[in-house]
Amino acid sequence: MRRLLWLAATALLVAGCGASGHEAPAALPDPRPLSGVLYAPPANAALLHDAEEAAVRDCMHERGFEYHVIPARDPWRLVEDNPYGLLQPDRATDDGYGITAQRLGPPAGDPNDEILQRLSETRQRQWHEALVGTPDRHRKVKRPDGVTLSYDPGACVETGFRSVYGKPWTERFRALEGVGNQVVTATLRGAAFRTAERKWATCMAEEGHPYRALGEPRQEIQERVEKAAGDSEALRETGRAELAVARADVACQQRARLHQAVAAGQQRAEKTLRGDWEAEIKAHRQARDRALKHARSGTA
């Protein structure tokens, strides 16, 4: 697990927080919609990212454009946070919510910026069109949660996805994404979550952090980071505050048995929302597993 240098410096200033010692805190349940079919752990996410980038590069080269793959510098940053706001003890202890660390870290950068600087304006436009497509060729996809998205199936980004995962990856992914959002919404509205969240809020108040909703600590830290932009000392102070709040947050989540409550609420929500999508869930998992197998073996 990563150890960030700024955390090594700031952790000493947060008295009385975190585990003492020598063993990593035990992992807690990590409920995600649809059996986690849309989620890949960091190591897998990095492999899939690299495979996608290589496929995009090959497509761009076939169309006469240079393209440098964008490396997965930190696999953890490829992984989406738990959709319910649930924390894991090890990450909360070392990285808080990951907000200040991301701001303090070096800018990600894009190795393709140097390529674009060498191109004329016309070629820059053609390069971007080859990569992400053009609006007149976009195809609309309406998700089950009512959100409408669009994409160009001929763009190299989409061609890359099909090369790695097969057809019809984008349509199926977006549909399952919408179903997953419906599951999350229903779970958060359920009695199990609301009861556990109230217990969590009571615990946080006892620890000196008077929040009412689970998302409030992250929002507050995000606002502080934005306000402190460009002020390194203010950012470090925000980092110390983030660690303290996140450590209290995960401890109170454990005390309120929030992870277990979410898992139970999600199971109930999926009884009415998941049934019609089992075939797509299975196909999506199989496509991702095949892609991982190919990525590990170095085959396309």
pLDDT tens, the chain, 300 aa long: 333 323 333 332 333 333 334 455 677 999 999 999 999 988 899 999 999 999 999 999 999 999 999 988 776 666 778 999 999 999 999 999 999 988 887 667 789 999 999 999 999 999 999 999 999 999 999 999 999 999 999 999 999 999 999 988 999 999 999 999 999 999 999 999 999 999 999 999 999 999 999 999 999 999 999 999 888 899 999 999 999 999 999 999 999 999 999 999 999 999 999 999 999 999 999 999 999 999 998 765
CA atoms within a 13 Å half-sphere pointing along the CA-CB vector of 273: 24
Q: What does the pLDDT read at residue 78?
A: 66
> What is the β-pairing status of strands 148-151 and 139-142?
antiparallel
Q: Which helix (H) or strand (E) holds 148?
A: strand 148-151
What confidence score (pLDDT) does residue 20 get? 37
C-alpha 193/C-alpha 213 separation (Å) is 11
Virtual torsion, Cα 120, 126, 127, 133, nearest 10 deg: 160
Residue 156 pLDDT: 98
The reported pLDDT for the residue numbered 229 is 83
Collapse the DSSP code of 251 into the 3-class scheme (helix H, G, I; strand E, B; otherwise coil) and give the result: helix
Q: How far apart are CA 244 and CA 165, in angstroms?
A: 41
Q: What is the dihedral of CA 281, 282, 286, 292, to 10 degrees?
A: 40
What angle, 0 to 180 degrees and rounded to 10, lies between the N-to-C axes of helices 258-273 and 232-255? 80
Please give the Cα distance from 274 to 186 (Å, whole number).
12
- Give the pLDDT of residue 266: 98
| Cα 21 from Cα 18, distance rounded (Å) | 9
| Predicted model pTM | 0.85
Question: Helix H segments across 63-190?
Answer: 75-78, 89-95, 99-104, 113-117, 121-132, 156-165, 169-189
| Residue 19, pLDDT score | 37
